[in-house]
Amino acid sequence: MNSVNPSSVSRRAWLHQTLQATAGASLLGSPLGLLAATPAAGHVVVLGGGVGGATAAKYLKLFNPALKVTVIEKNRNYIRPYGSSEVLNQHASMDELNVGYGALASRYGVNFVFDTVTGFDPQARTVTTAGKQSIAYDRLIVSPGIQLMYSAYAGYTEQVANTAIPSGWIPGQQTALLAKQLQGMRQGGTFVLAAPPNPYRCPPGPYERAALMTEWFARHNPRAKVIIVDPKDSFVTDESMMLGWNRLYNFNLPDDYSKKMSPQVELLQHATPGNLTWVRGKDGGRTLKVDAKTMRITTEAEDIKADVINVIPPMKAGQLAATLGLTDASGWCPVERATFKSTLQPHVHVIGDASVADAMPKSGFSANTQAKVVARAIVDELAGRPVDTAPVWENTCYALAGKDYGLFVADVFRIRDGKIARTNGKERYLPLNATPAQIKLGARYQQAWLRTFTQDCFA
Ligand SMILES: Cc1cc2nc3c(=O)[nH]c(=O)nc-3n(C[C@H](O)[C@H](O)[C@H](O)COP(=O)(O)OP(=O)(O)OC[C@H]3O[C@@H](n4cnc5c(N)ncnc54)[C@H](O)[C@@H]3O)c2cc1C
């Protein structure tokens, strides 16, 4: 067992230690020589070239360049979901969300097959595609992301989402449509964002999106209203996010939050509340139906006439996971925790949003750190070495309450009692008493993270 912790050492040091473990200390001195000395050990096929899949492919080749690694991905370019709400407030363009696969192919020797996976034979160990290809593998990594359950609300369908009430939680044409609707909304209009139930991709994301639009409207459409309707009563980063809203948008916190937070931080009580409202589950915020013709959204509490509606519906593992028999009744993919090996199919590892990872959120950061741990486990297993049974994972979600108002949640995870649990020694969130400089720095970290994270996954 090797207990090297990728979170506690720099990436370079971690790679160095991994190389040592991989090829033996006697070959140290030339990392490349070390890598080359690792025995060739088969073919790993990765399904899905998103955050999880791309990172896994890159790190498999870094850990053992002799390994053959093939990514099967349906799109020639990846549209990154993380940072995609910044298209709505004109902070980024749709083009800036595009990420190519050239670097993974040319720098690391990852093979790409651009095709849609349609099935597999777990006994023969072959994957089949819509283009009638059959590709053999020794190990399979599946990182298919999510699918949106449009039909969860009466009146909502994929067709309605594509044409009138976009979701944009898988970025693409719906993101562009939503941006156009929001930026063209009539003066004084109402924007309703329907937040999803747990578990969902990117826990602070819906609230960040609402905040960024409230900020944008203040400049371009100052009487516009933003209403978040929510089936939940709380969300990750809620205290630090709402403190930002309180300061930036005259948002008055719900009483229970005010009581809890006011001993730690000064909260402003605004005689005239601002234009951002959060309707919680306990106040009837759960969405029941939408009507695209009349642009109405009905929750348990009320019927709201809106100008723009953004529904983020419930979600489950990407369709590919179900097609391959990797999902259970929950709609997600159960895995052995240390290796993310599927408990339902042999020789398959499921990572990223689709996997059941207990306390780990469905985030890009999580998918990236899971990919590295799995790449390491596969390289070790194929080389006949023991596999780490006590890995450490980490996650940091940066989020914006405004363009210059950054906050975060940061966690370290280990296996406890058979489940992945948080084991932080320190505070998870931006402290409520953070200084203005720390808050501004948080926003700079978020922007820097978008760049360096994309490089770590795709370049
Ligand atoms: C608005 C928003 C903001 C976010 N912000 C953050 C953030 O700040 N920090 C953070 O860590 N995370 C963030 N996320 C979440 C993050 O983007 C996801 O958690 C991450 O992309 C998950 O990676 P994945 O590999 O599981 O899935 P994906 O990245 O979605 O990749 C899945 C891939 O599989 C491919 N695929 C699916 N089916 C098939 C098939 N049959 N054949 C071939 N290919 C297939 C898809 O084309 C896709 O490329 C955000 C998400 C959103 C929506």
The CATH number of residue 62's host domain is: 3.50.50.60
Looking at the fold, whether 78 and 131 belong to one and the same domain comes out as: yes
> To test the ligand 1 pocket, which listed residue (71, 117, 201, 453) has its Cβ within 8 A of the most ligand atoms?
201
Residue 169 CA, closest ligand 1 atom number = 53
Looking at the fold, whether 286 and 221 belong to one and the same domain comes out as: yes
How many domains are there within the chain? 2
> To test the ligand 1 pocket, which listed residue (47, 174, 363, 458) has its Cβ within 8 A of the most ligand atoms?
363
Query: Using an 8 Å Cβ cutoff, are 81 and 201 in contact?
Result: yes
Checking if the pLDDT of 5 tops 70, the result is: no
> To test the ligand 1 pocket, which listed residue (104, 207, 353, 356) has its Cβ within 8 A of the most ligand atoms?
353
Length reported for the chain: 459
Q: Does some domain include residue 439?
A: no
Checking if the pLDDT of 35 tops 50, the result is: no
Indicate the angle between helix axes 11-23 and 364-382, nearest 10 degrees. 20
pTM listed for this prediction: 0.92
pLDDT of residue 114: 98
Mean pLDDT, residues 334-348 taken together: 98
Mean pLDDT, residues 64-72 taken together: 97
Q: Does some domain include residue 302?
A: yes
pLDDT of residue 425: 77
Residue that is last in its domain, among 314, 334, 350 = 314
Residue that is last in its domain, among 289, 314, 339 = 314
The Cα–Cα gap between 401 and 399 comes to: 7
Model confidence band, residue 332 (pLDDT cutoffs 50, 70, 90)? very high
Looking at the fold, whether 15 and 126 belong to one and the same domain comes out as: yes
How much distance in Å is there from the Cα of 202 to the middle of ligand 1? 10
Looking at the fold, whether 301 and 166 belong to one and the same domain comes out as: yes
Looking at the fold, whether 18 and 46 belong to one and the same domain comes out as: yes
How much distance in Å is there from the Cα of 51 to the middle of ligand 1? 6
Looking at the fold, whether 193 and 289 belong to one and the same domain comes out as: yes
Report the percent of the chain where pLDDT is more than 70: 91
Looking at the fold, whether 208 and 294 belong to one and the same domain comes out as: yes
Model confidence band, residue 40 (pLDDT cutoffs 50, 70, 90)? low
Checking if the pLDDT of 387 tops 70, the result is: yes
Q: From the centroid of its chain, how far is CA 1?
A: 30
Looking at the fold, whether 304 and 246 belong to one and the same domain comes out as: yes
Model confidence band, residue 41 (pLDDT cutoffs 50, 70, 90)? confident
Lowest model confidence (mean pLDDT) among 37-41, 43-47, 149-153, 441-445: 37-41
pLDDT of residue 38: 53
Lowest model confidence (mean pLDDT) among 20-24, 50-54, 128-132, 338-342: 20-24
pLDDT of residue 146: 98
Q: Which residue range is the domain that position 283 belongs to? A: 151-314
Q: Does some domain include residue 261?
A: yes
Q: Does some domain include residue 425?
A: no
Q: Supply the residue whose CA is at minimum distance from atom 7 of ligand 1.
A: 82
Looking at the fold, whether 241 and 364 belong to one and the same domain comes out as: no
Checking if the pLDDT of 18 tops 70, the result is: no
The Cα–Cα gap between 55 and 369 comes to: 8
The Cα–Cα gap between 427 and 446 comes to: 18
More confident residue, 386 or 12: 386
> To test the ligand 1 pocket, which listed residue (142, 202, 409) has its Cβ within 8 A of the most ligand atoms?
202
Model confidence band, residue 39 (pLDDT cutoffs 50, 70, 90)? low
Looking at the fold, whether 104 and 168 belong to one and the same domain comes out as: no
How much distance in Å is there from the Cα of 342 to the middle of ligand 1? 19
Structure tokens at 9: 């050492």
| Residue 11: CA count within 13 A, CB half-sphere | 10
Residue 371 CA, closest ligand 1 atom number = 25
Looking at the fold, whether 49 and 96 belong to one and the same domain comes out as: yes
pLDDT of residue 426: 75
Looking at the fold, whether 300 and 325 belong to one and the same domain comes out as: no
Model confidence band, residue 149 (pLDDT cutoffs 50, 70, 90)? very high
Checking if the pLDDT of 160 tops 80, the result is: yes
Residue-wise pLDDT tens digits, 91-100:
999 999 999 9
Q: Supply the residue whose CA is at minimum distance from atom 15 of ligand 1.
A: 363
Q: Supply the residue whose CA is at minimum distance from atom 37 of ligand 1.
A: 144
Report the percent of the chain where pLDDT is more than 90: 90
